[in-house]
Structure 1
Amino acid sequence: MTGGGVDRSIECTGNVNAMISAFECLRAGWGVAVFVGLTGKDELFKINPTKFLEGRSIKGTAYGNFKPRSDIPALVEKYMNKELELEKFITHQVSFKEINKAFEYMLKGESLRCVISFVG
């Protein structure tokens, strides 16, 4: 389809088979796969190491390489200035007593963001 592979691929699902496909479709010599999606804790990514010797490579990022010291104050300022609508990203709210429910939502992929309340 691409006449030799793609120069760049981005995987955002955390699905190991999608990661393998994103790597396998790279052009030999300079193709780069970027993995953003988080896998399950026990999942393995298996590929033939010869693909690396052919010049393909992988880069990854967790949470977009977020820098809390500088990025959190900037996000708070944007939120306070109504430039950032955080409420639309909250899919669930639970009390601290229901914290296990928040983990269940996360592990099942049913929650975008869950707010855990420590009061009432």
Structure 2
Amino acid sequence: MHGAPLSIPSLEILRGRCVMGSLFGGVKPKQDIPILVDKYLNKELELDKFVTHEVALKDINTAFDLLLQGKSIRCTIWMDK
């Protein structure tokens, strides 16, 4: 839950463990997204395998249903269909 309290055993901190946070997994959009796009366009990053369904915008509820049923990993929603 966003903003929920976090409980951390103090002994773990004393033993040298640390707590770190990140936003978007530490991706720096201005720097990293162009690199990822180039890798995708050069077939080094195969993202198409992760798209399990494609639906038109008018069928967006179908995409949510598939997600909730655990039948979809990623769904592309086409705006022009």
The offset of 1:46, in angstroms, is 7.7
Identity score, percent: 43
Q: Residues 119, 73 of structure 1: CA spacing in aligned structure 2 closer, same or farther, 3 A cutoff?
A: same
- Give the Cα separation in 2 of the matches to 1:45 and 1:54: 18
Structure 1 unaligned segments of length 5 or more: list them: 1-40
Picking from 102, 109, 112, the partner of 2:73 is: 112
Residue 100 of structure 1 corresponds to 61
1:55 aligns with 2:26: no
Which residues of 2 match residues 1-120 of structure 1 at below 5 A? 51=9, 53-56=10-13, 58-61=19-22, 63-120=24-81
Aligned residue pairs: how many?
Answer: 76
Q: Residues 59, 110 of structure 1: CA spacing in aligned structure 2 closer, same or farther, 3 A cutoff?
A: farther
What do you get for the CA RMSD once the two structures are aligned? 2.8
Structure 2 unaligned segments of length 5 or more: list them: none
TM-score (norm 2): 0.65
- The structure that is helix-richer by fraction is 2
The offset of 1:75, in angstroms, is 1.2
The CA deviation string for residues 3-23 of structure 1, in whole angstroms up to 9 with x for no partner, is xxxxxxxxxxxxxxxxxxxxx
Letter in 2 for 1:65: G
